[in-house]
């Protein structure tokens, strides 16, 4: 185990439900005060669970920027008290562009947030509409510019596969985001299947949706444009300028400890994963009674933990050491070993500089490679 632990805080409130949302989130803020009371209590009861101080704190959601900043401040104070938060820690909040007026930005900066992960998704109004995002393109661009001007580290989320999107519109969105001074970009593929409105749209107008080859071309466009603008792909879905990588998310890919608070949050101490209740009423009740809200716990057997380390490590562009890779391979069945050999032969995996990595085609076929390890 290396590095200091991080803290994750789930903030499950949103002003409006996006079409494609699969996160644990509710609309409205009726339970916000008792919820944050419970998160503070949970932080205090779990003091000493890992050796602090935290060097990253991540408010995820939901929409943390929609909650009262004073509530985020209370949680941060409780984390400082219970575990410590290192000087210079990376403190990230996920944010909806519409929340980021000057007042809210000042409040977030004042409470100690120094990095924002802003859910832009697209800078085309015609693409934002079917997603039912609450911001429009000009609002999102204004928010990015204000956040960058404040000196915050800014990451923008962008989506591939939005109905009506074209390679040209994607290039425009990404180019404008980068020109605004954003130094970290996360790119996700829109998952249609769980969104009934999008499934119905695809049935009515299949031409608005990209096929597999087009999705690959769009991902390559993102990779090329980010690279040409000085953002390196450091993980399968994330590009950053040097030093702008998400230190918090790197902890997940490196199996480093994260204490996770709030509804549905999943903690890892380096060995065991423990997950909180996914229902707000059940979470409130459990924390009110016992101070914690764990509903499940999993410790992987050694061989599975080895394979998981390699699977997660391969998500990073730096890959994993050959020694770690070989140790994981030794735990596989003959047929899975053969599948990995095929992945090398097909140019999806490569050995270079004592490490094993996914190649660029390998990133696009990473599920094939990972399925041999899991
Ligand atoms: S902002 Fe995020 S969490 Fe909230 S509804 Fe939209 S996709 Fe879901």
Does 1 score more than 80 pLDDT?
Answer: no
Question: Quick one: three-class SS letters along the chain?
Answer: CCCCCEEEEEECEECCCCCCCCCCCEECCCCHHHHHHHHHHHHHHCCCCCCCCEEEEEEEECCHHHCCHHHHHHHHHHHHHHCCEEEEEEEEEEECHHHCCHHHHHHHHHHCCCEEEEEEECCCHHHHHHHCCCCCHHHHHHHHHHHHHCCCEEEEEEEECCCCCCHHHHHHHHHHHHHCCCCEEEEEECCCCCCHHHHHHHHHCHHHCCCHHHHHHHHHHHHHHHHHCCCEEEECCEEECCCCCCHHHHHHHCCCCEEEECCCCEEECCCEEEEECCCHHHHHHHHHHHCCCEEEEEECCHHHHHHHHHHHHHHECCCEEHHHHHHHHCCCCHHHHHHHHHHHHCCCEEEECCEEEECHHHHHCHHHHHHHHC
Ligand 1 centroid to Cα of residue 351, in Å, is 39
Ligand 1 lining (C-beta closer than 6 Å): 14, 17-18, 21, 23, 25, 61-63, 96, 119
Residues 6 or more apart whose Cβ sits within 8 Å of residue 103: none
Q: What is the mean pLDDT of residues 25-50?
A: 96
Ligand 1 atom nearest the C-alpha of 22 is: 8
> Which residue puts its alpha carbon closest to atom 2 of ligand 1?
62
For 242, counting Cβ atoms within 10 Å of its Cβ (0-12 exposed, 13-18 middle, 19+ buried), the class is exposed
> Which residue puts its alpha carbon closest to atom 7 of ligand 1?
21
174 touches 225 (CB < 8 A): yes
Do residue 224 and residue 311 come from a single domain? Answer: no
Mean pLDDT of the chain: 96
Q: What is the mean pLDDT of residues 141-150?
A: 98
State which of 218, 236, 252 marks the end of a domain: 252
Does 256 score more than 70 pLDDT?
Answer: yes
Do residue 208 and residue 337 come from a single domain? Answer: no
Ligand 1 centroid to Cα of residue 83, in Å, is 29
Its pTM surpasses 0.95: yes
Dihedral sign of CA atoms 194, 140, 209, 239 in order: negative
The gap from C-alpha 149 to its chain's centroid, in whole angstroms, comes to: 24
Distance in angstroms (rounded) separating the CA atoms of residues 335 and 301: 21
Ligand 1 centroid to Cα of residue 21, in Å, is 5
Q: Is 279 a member of any domain?
A: no
Do residue 63 and residue 166 come from a single domain? Answer: yes
Ligand 1 centroid to Cα of residue 371, in Å, is 29
Do residue 100 and residue 182 come from a single domain? Answer: yes
Q: What is the mean pLDDT of residues 142-163?
A: 98
**Residue-level pLDDT at 3:** 79
State which of 219, 234, 252 marks the end of a domain: 252
Do residue 223 and residue 161 come from a single domain? Answer: yes
Q: Is 288 a member of any domain?
A: no
pLDDT 10s digits, 4-19: 999 999 999 999 999 9
- Tokens standing for residue 336: 């899975």
Block residue for tokens 């003091």: 47
Residue 144: which of 92, 103, 90, 98 has the closest Cα?
98
Pocket test for ligand 1, best of 24, 119, 135 (most atoms within 8 A of CB): 119
Q: Is 257 a member of any domain?
A: no
pLDDT 10s digits, 78-105: 999 999 999 999 999 999 999 999 999 9
> Which residue puts its alpha carbon closest to atom 5 of ligand 1?
17
**Residue-level pLDDT at 232:** 98
Do residue 244 and residue 352 come from a single domain? Answer: no
Residue 97: which of 55, 128, 57 has the closest Cα?
128
Ligand 1 centroid to Cα of residue 296, in Å, is 25
Residue 369's domain is classified under what CATH number?
Answer: 1.10.10
Do residue 110 and residue 216 come from a single domain? Answer: yes
What total number of domains does the chain contain? 2
Q: Is 224 a member of any domain?
A: yes
State which of 252, 287, 321 marks the end of a domain: 252
Give percent of the chain above pLDDT 90: 97
Ligand 1 centroid to Cα of residue 61, in Å, is 7
Q: Is 339 a member of any domain?
A: yes
Do residue 43 and residue 112 come from a single domain? Answer: yes
Strands 355-358 and 349-352: antiparallel
Do residue 104 and residue 175 come from a single domain? Answer: yes
Residue 231's domain is classified under what CATH number?
Answer: 3.80.30.20
> Which residue puts its alpha carbon closest to atom 6 of ligand 1?
18
Do residue 104 and residue 224 come from a single domain? Answer: yes
**Residue-level pLDDT at 2:** 56
Do residue 121 and residue 216 come from a single domain? Answer: yes
Which range marks the domain in which residue 318 is found?
302-373
Q: Would you place residue 374 in the very low, low, confident or very high pLDDT band (cuts 50, 70, 90)?
A: confident
Do residue 337 and residue 246 come from a single domain? Answer: no
Number of residues that make up the chain: 374
């Amino acid at each position: 185990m290396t590095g200091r632990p991080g803290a994750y805080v789930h903030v499950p409130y949103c002003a409006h439900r996006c079409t494609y949302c699969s996160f644990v989130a509710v609309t409205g803020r009726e339970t916000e005060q008792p919820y944050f009371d419970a998160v503070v209590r949970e932080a205090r009861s779990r003091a000493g669970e890992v050796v602090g101080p935290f060097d990253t704190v991540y408010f995820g959601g939901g929409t943390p920027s929609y909650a009262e900043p004073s509530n985020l401040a209370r949680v941060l104070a409780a984390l400082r008290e219970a575990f410590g938060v290192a000087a210079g820690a990376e403190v990230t909040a996920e944010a909806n562009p519409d929340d980021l007026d000057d007042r809210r930005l000042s409040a977030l900066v004042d409470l100690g947030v120094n990095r924002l992960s802003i859910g832009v998704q697209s800078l085309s109004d015609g693409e934002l509409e079917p997603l039912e995002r609450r911001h429009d393109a000009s609002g999102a661009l204004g928010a990015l510019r204000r956040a960058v001007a404040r000196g915050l580290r800014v990451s923008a989320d962008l989506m591939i596969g939005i109905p009506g999107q074209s390679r040209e519109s994607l290039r425009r969105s990404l180019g404008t985001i980068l020109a605004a001074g954003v130094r970290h970009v996360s790119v996700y593929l829109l998952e249609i299947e769980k969104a009934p409105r999008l499934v119905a749209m695809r049935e009515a107008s299949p031409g608005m949706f990209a096929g597999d080859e087009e999705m690959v071309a769009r991902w390559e466009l993102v990779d090329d444009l980010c690279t040409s603008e000085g953002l390196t792909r450091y993980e399968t879905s994330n590009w950053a300028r040097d030093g702008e990588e998400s230190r918090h998310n790197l902890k997940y890919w490196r199996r480093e400890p994260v204490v996770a608070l709030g509804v549905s949050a999943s903690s890892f101490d380096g060995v065991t994963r423990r997950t909180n209740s996914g229902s707000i009423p059940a979470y409130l009740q459990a924390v009110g009674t016992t101070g914690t809200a764990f509903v499940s716990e999993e410790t992987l057997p050694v061989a599975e933990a080895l394979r998981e380390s390699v699977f997660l490590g391969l998500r990073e562009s730096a890959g994993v050491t050959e020694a770690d890779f070989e140790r994981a391979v030794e735990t596989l069945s003959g047929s899975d070993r053969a599948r990995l050999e095929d992945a090398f032969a097909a140019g999806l995996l490569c050995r270079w500089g004592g490490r094993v990595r996914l190649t660029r085609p390998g990133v696009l076929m990473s599920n094939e490679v990972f399925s041999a390890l899991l």
